[in-house]
């Protein structure tokens, strides 16, 4: 059997476990060295594929590839570059065929979220449209948890754990100081369009009075008066109020709160930061002293507190992608399937890339309490399995050991330079 090479690439915002998927791809391919030649990685996602900027992962040691499982962010670089439609941007696809062909690449694994699966789907059309035999498998990844078909998206469970742990800890801090100091704590989390990450904060509240007391979702337009009343009641009842707010929360007119109030000294709108706006609204109306935090990239890079379940699922998706390819499947994405029953069990399924691309799954309304400020038991039941287990990275000298690969370039074979803008 003739051996062909594989190309793996990372796409979109990185996560603390996307490298675990890379590890799954490369380790599994190495186990099938009779069928798959080298695994190349595209530097900075699809851009590396277009510019023939390839990395030879066969030069990495087994130990370094294994360490990818413990290393956050994108070891080969990622990008947010989208491919246009094949009818209109035929040159891009012809270029991919040139690169694939020059490097004997017949397997393409693209690791990303909804937009990236759209790219993967378009690449899968190359076989038919350009008559080059490429096997294309998507690998799911996104902290936003908005991919369809899959029970959840690798990357989300670890952010969920980080957010739940952090608000539990900060809540205890505020509770200790509330009598004479800070009474309000606002923690802003990611989630421009869907409240999954904010919802995960709710897992920390196991008993009445536990932080967080209020969650603000992008799905629920903020009624300031009702919100302030709830904050005041919470402070009067529990002595303090801990709030998790999604960056995507909007006012009643549908405008992002983060863009509503702050301007700099030059009158420019201040970008980012719904937490300070919420905190200040509370201070101005209720007078309570506040603190706020904005975790930003810390939350999606926090491999030190990753969910073991998430790491295992991310790895399994990478492994399944290679197995799918070897089994002759094409234009599909492995997914996580939640089995029926009270105990959480999951298996690997598959979904067609065509149907995955560009679909955003929102939180069901029944996962948010009727008042709009919390999560329901159904939501908790869905979320809780995803944060189970700890999977600590190794430490040296007090700090986590994260691998930095050699990322040696593959010698270019093409003489033409591709213009990304073209």
Residues 295-334 that bind a copy of itself (CB under 8 A): 295-298, 300-305, 307
Name which of 101 and 388 has its Cβ closer to a copy of itself: 388
Give the separation between CA 43 and CA 57, rounded to whole angstroms.
11
Give the separation between CA 299 and CA 302, rounded to whole angstroms.
5
Does residue 276 touch a copy of itself according to CB under 8 A? yes
Does residue 25 touch a copy of itself according to CB under 8 A? no
Q: How near is the Cβ of 111 to a copy of itself at its closest, in Å?
A: 12
- In contact, 202 and 244? CB cutoff 8 Å: yes
Q: Site for a copy of itself (CB under 8 A): which residue of 389, 407, 409, 412?
A: 389
Does residue 343 touch a copy of itself according to CB under 8 A? no
Q: Site for a copy of itself (CB under 8 A): which residue of 292, 315, 346, 367?
A: 292
Which range of residues in 107-115, 160-168, 222-230, 244-252 is near a copy of itself by CB under 8 A?
160-168
Give the separation between CA 352 and CA 331, rounded to whole angstroms.
6
SS3 assignment for 378-393? HHHHHHHHHHCCECCC
Name which of 235 and 351 has its Cβ closer to a copy of itself: 235
Give residues 54-73 in contact with a copy of itself (rule: CB under 8 A).
71-73
Structure tokens at 145: 């948890």
Name which of 93 and 162 has its Cβ closer to a copy of itself: 162
Give residues 218-247 in contact with a copy of itself (rule: CB under 8 A).
none
Give residues 393-422 in contact with a copy of itself (rule: CB under 8 A).
395, 397-400, 402
- Tell me which of 118, 144, 151, 310 is the catalytic residue: 144
Site string for a copy of itself, 115-154 (x = CB under 8 A): ----------------------------------------
Name which of 9 and 322 has its Cβ closer to a copy of itself: 9
Long-range contacts made by residues 61-68, C-beta under 8 angstroms, separation at least 24? 62/30, 64/403, 64/405, 64/406, 65/23, 65/26, 65/27, 65/30, 66/23, 66/27, 67/401, 67/402, 67/403, 68/19, 68/20, 68/22, 68/23, 68/26, 68/403, 68/405
Does residue 175 touch a copy of itself according to CB under 8 A? yes
Q: Is 396 helix (H, G, I), strand (E, B) or coil?
A: strand
Number of neighbouring beta carbons within 10 Å of residue 351: 19
Q: Site for a copy of itself (CB under 8 A): which residue of 61, 192, 237, 272?
A: 272
Name which of 203 and 220 has its Cβ closer to a copy of itself: 203
Which range of residues in 32-40, 159-167, 230-238, 357-365 is near a copy of itself by CB under 8 A?
159-167
- In contact, 49 and 420? CB cutoff 8 Å: no
Which range of residues in 121-129, 244-252, 268-276, 358-366 is near a copy of itself by CB under 8 A?
268-276
| Nearest one of 406, 407, 414, 402 to 69, comparing CA atoms | 402
| Nearest one of 283, 257, 284 to 272, comparing CA atoms | 257
Does residue 173 touch a copy of itself according to CB under 8 A? yes
Q: Is 349 helix (H, G, I), strand (E, B) or coil?
A: strand
Name which of 37 and 154 has its Cβ closer to a copy of itself: 154
- Phi-psi bin for 240: left (phi > 0), alpha (psi -120 to 50), beta? beta
User: Catalytic residue at 144?
Assistant: yes
- In contact, 79 and 111? CB cutoff 8 Å: no
Give residues 368-387 in contact with a copy of itself (rule: CB under 8 A).
384, 387
Does residue 212 touch a copy of itself according to CB under 8 A? no
Give the separation between CA 29 and CA 324, rounded to whole angstroms.
11
Does residue 338 touch a copy of itself according to CB under 8 A? no
Q: Site for a copy of itself (CB under 8 A): which residue of 32, 35, 221, 280?
A: 280
Name which of 6 and 174 has its Cβ closer to a copy of itself: 174
Does residue 16 touch a copy of itself according to CB under 8 A? yes
Residue 350 β-bridge partners: 334
Give Cβ neighbours of residue 412 (< 8 Å, ≥ 6 apart). 52
Report residue 411: phi and psi, to 5°.
Answer: -60, 135
By CB under 8 A, the count of residues binding a copy of itself is: 75
Active-site amino acid positions: 144
């Amino acid at each position: 059997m003739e051996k062909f090479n594989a190309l793996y690439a990372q796409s979109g915002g990185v996560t603390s476990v996307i490298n675990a998927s890379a590890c799954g791809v490369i380790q599994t391919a190495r186990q099938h060295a009779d069928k798959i030649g080298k695994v190349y990685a595209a530097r900075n996602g699809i851009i590396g594929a277009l510019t023939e900027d390839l990395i030879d992962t066969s030069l990495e040691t087994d130990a370094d590839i294994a360490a990818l499982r413990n290393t956050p962010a994108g070891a080969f670089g990622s990008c947010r570059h989208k491919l246009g439609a094949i009818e209109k941007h035929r040159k891009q696809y012809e270029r991919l065929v040139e690169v694939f062909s020059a490097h004997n690449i017949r397997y393409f694994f693209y690791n990303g979220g909804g937009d990236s699966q759209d790219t993967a789907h378009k690449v899968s059309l190359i076989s038919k449209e350009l008559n080059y035999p490429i096997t294309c498998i998507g690998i799911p990844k996104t902290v936003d948890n908005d991919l369809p078909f899959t029970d959840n998206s690798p990357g989300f469970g670890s952010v969920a754990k980080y957010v739940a742990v952090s608000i539990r800890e900060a809540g205890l801090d505020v509770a200790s100081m509330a009598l004479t100091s800070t009474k309000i704590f606002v923690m802003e989390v990611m989630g421009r369009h869907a409240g999954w990450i904010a919802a995960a904060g709710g897992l920390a509240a196991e008993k009445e009075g536990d932080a967080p007391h209020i969650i603000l979702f992008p799905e629920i337009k903020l009624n300031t008066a009702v919100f302030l009343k709830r904050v005041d009641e919470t402070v009067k009842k529990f002595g303090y109020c801990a709030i998790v707010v999604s960056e995507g929360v909007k006012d009643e007119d549908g405008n992002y709160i983060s863009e509503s109030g702050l301007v700099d000294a030059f009158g420019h709108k201040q970008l980012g930061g719904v937490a300070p706006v919420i905190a200040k609204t509370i201070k101005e109306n209720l007078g309570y002293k506040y603190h706020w935090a904005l975790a930003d990239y810390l939350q999606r890079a926090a491999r030190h507190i990753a969910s073991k379940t998430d790491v295992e699922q991310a790895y399994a998706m990478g492994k399944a992608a290679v197995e799918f390819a070897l089994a002759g499947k094409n234009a599909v994405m492995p997914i996580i399937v939640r089995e029926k029953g009270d105990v959480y069990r999951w298996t690997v399924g598959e979904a067609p890339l065509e149907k995955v691309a560009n679909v955003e799954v929102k939180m069901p309304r029944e996962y948010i309490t009727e008042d709009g400020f919390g999560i329901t038991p159904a939501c908790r039941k869905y979320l809780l399995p995803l944060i189970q287990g700890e999977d600590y990275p190794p430490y040296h000298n007090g700090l986590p050991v994260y691998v930095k690969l050699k990322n040696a370039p593959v010698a270019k074979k093409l003489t033409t330079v591709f213009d990304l803008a073209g």
